[in-house]
C-alpha cells in the first residue's frame, strides 16, 4: 500500500495496481512521490523501479523533474503526520466477522473429531458429558492459539485482519510477541464488558484506539511496520 504525493496533496493509501492505473491515466507523473504505509520518507516515483518502468512505457520521462528526496513525512487519513494510516471501527468489525467464520469452521471440524473420539463404548451419557467438556476446552484452545499464532507471527494479523489489509503492532512499531497477543485477546473482553463501548472507541479516538489497544499499548494500522519504525515518540 502506498501514499501518493502530487501537487502538495496526499492521496491514498493505494495499492500498487491503483498507482499503475493512475500513471496510465496520466493522473500522476514524474513529479509525484510515493511513501509506503509505515514509512517516514517520500521517494520520487522515478526512483521506484517498478513504477519508473511504467513511466518509461507510458512515454513519460522520469528525469530530475521530481521533488528532492528529503520531503515532509507522509500524512494519513487518521490525523498522523508520520505515514501511519490507523484502522478505524468498521474495517475492524469486518475483520472480526471474517475471523468469527474461520474460527467457527475450525471449531466445528475439531469438535466433530473430538465427539467421534469420545463416543466410544462406555455409556452414552458419560460419552456425551466427556464430549461436551472436551468441546469447551478445545474451543478455548483454538481461540487462544488463533490469536497467539497469527498475531505474533509473520502475518502480524489474524486471517480476517490480513484479508482486510490491517495489522497489529506495538506502540513502538514492532511486532507483538505471543504473550502480548494473548494478553490483548484477554483485554478484548474488557472492551466487551463496557457494553462494547471499548470497541466503539476505535471510531472516535485520534489514533483509532479501542480500549484494549490502550490497555496493551498496541495499534491497528494499514500496512505492516516491517522496518520497526520508531513510533513511540509520536504515539501518545
> Which of 39, 57, 75 is at the close of a domain?
57
Asked if residue 178 belongs to a domain, the reply is yes
Report the distance separating Cα 145 and Cα 105, nearest Å. Answer: 15
Asked if residue 186 belongs to a domain, the reply is yes
Shared domain for 12 and 120, answered yes or no, is no
Which pLDDT score, from 0 to 100, does residue 61 have?
41
Asked if residue 148 belongs to a domain, the reply is yes
Asked if residue 228 belongs to a domain, the reply is no
Shared domain for 117 and 196, answered yes or no, is yes
Shared domain for 152 and 99, answered yes or no, is yes
Shared domain for 48 and 134, answered yes or no, is no
Which pLDDT score, from 0 to 100, does residue 64 have?
34
Asked if residue 62 belongs to a domain, the reply is no
Identify whether the C-beta of residue 69 lies closer than 8 Å to the C-beta of residue 44. yes
Shared domain for 96 and 34, answered yes or no, is no
Report the distance separating Cα 21 and Cα 11, nearest Å. Answer: 14
Shared domain for 22 and 112, answered yes or no, is no
Shared domain for 104 and 218, answered yes or no, is yes
Asked if residue 78 belongs to a domain, the reply is no
What residues pair up with 11 in beta bridges, in sequence order? Answer: 4
Please tell me the total count of domains within the chain: 2
Shared domain for 98 and 212, answered yes or no, is yes
Structural domain of residue 17, as residue ranges? 2-57
Asked if residue 65 belongs to a domain, the reply is no
Identify whether the C-beta of residue 92 lies closer than 8 Å to the C-beta of residue 202. yes
Shared domain for 29 and 129, answered yes or no, is no
Asked if residue 74 belongs to a domain, the reply is no
Shared domain for 206 and 139, answered yes or no, is yes
pLDDT in tens, 70-109: 333 333 333 344 456 788 888 999 999 998 898 888 877 7
Shared domain for 217 and 119, answered yes or no, is yes
Please return the burial class of 115, using the count of CB atoms within 10 Å of its CB with bins 0-12, 13-18 and 19+: middle
Three-class DSSP labels, the chain: CEEEEECCEEEEEECHHHHHHHHHHCCCCCCCEEEECCCCCCEEHHHCHHHHHHHHHCCCCCCCCCCCCCCCCCCCCCCCCCCCCECCHHHHHHHHHHHHHHHHHHHHHHHHHHHHHHCCCCCHHHHHHHHHHHHHHHHHHHHHHHHHHHHHCCCCCCHHHHHCCEEEEECCCCCCCHHHHHHHHHHHHHHHHCCCHHHHHHHCCCCCCCHHHHHHCEEEEECCCCCCCCCCCCCC
**Chain mean position to CA 17:** 19
Which residue positions in the chain have pLDDT lower than 50?
60-82, 226-236
Which pLDDT score, from 0 to 100, does residue 98 have?
92
Shared domain for 93 and 199, answered yes or no, is yes
pTM over 0.75: no
Amino acid at each position: 500500500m502506498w501514499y501518493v504525493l502530487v501537487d502538495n496533496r496526499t492521496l491514498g493509501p493505494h495499492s500498487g495496481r491503483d498507482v499503475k492505473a493512475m500513471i496510465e491515466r496520466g493522473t500522476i507523473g514524474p513529479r509525484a512521490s510515493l511513501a509506503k504505509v509505515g514509512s517516514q520518507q517520500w521517494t520520487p516515483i522515478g526512483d521506484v523501479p517498478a513504477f519508473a518502468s511504467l513511466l518509461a512505457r507510458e512515454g513519460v520521462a522520469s528525469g530530475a523533474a521530481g521533488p528532492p528526496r528529503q520531503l515532509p513525512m507522509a500524512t494519513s487519513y487518521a490525523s498522523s503526520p508520520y505515514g501511519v494510516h490507523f484502522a478505524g471501527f468498521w474495517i475492524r468489525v469486518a475483520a472480526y466477522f471474517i475471523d468469527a467464520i474461520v474460527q467457527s469452521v475450525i471449531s466445528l471440524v475439531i469438535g466433530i473429531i473430538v465427539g467421534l473420539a469420545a463416543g466410544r463404548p462406555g455409556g452414552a451419557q458419560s460419552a456425551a458429558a466427556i464430549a461436551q467438556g472436551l468441546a469447551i476446552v478445545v474451543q478455548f484452545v483454538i481461540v487462544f492459539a488463533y490469536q497467539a499464532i497469527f498475531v505474533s507471527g509473520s502475518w502480524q494479523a489474524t486471517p480476517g485482519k490480513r484479508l482486510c489489509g490491517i495489522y497489529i503492532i506495538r506502540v513502538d512499531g514492532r511486532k507483538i510477541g505471543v504473550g502480548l497477543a494473548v494478553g490483548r485477546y484477554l483485554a478484548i473482553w474488557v472492551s466487551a464488558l463496557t457494553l462494547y463501548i471499548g470497541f466503539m472507541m476505535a471510531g472516535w479516538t485520534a489514533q483509532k484506539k479501542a480500549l484494549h489497544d490502550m490497555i496493551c499499548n498496541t495499534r491497528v494500522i494499514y500496512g505492516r511496520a516491517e522496518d520497526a519504525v520508531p513510533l513511540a515518540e509520536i504515539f501518545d
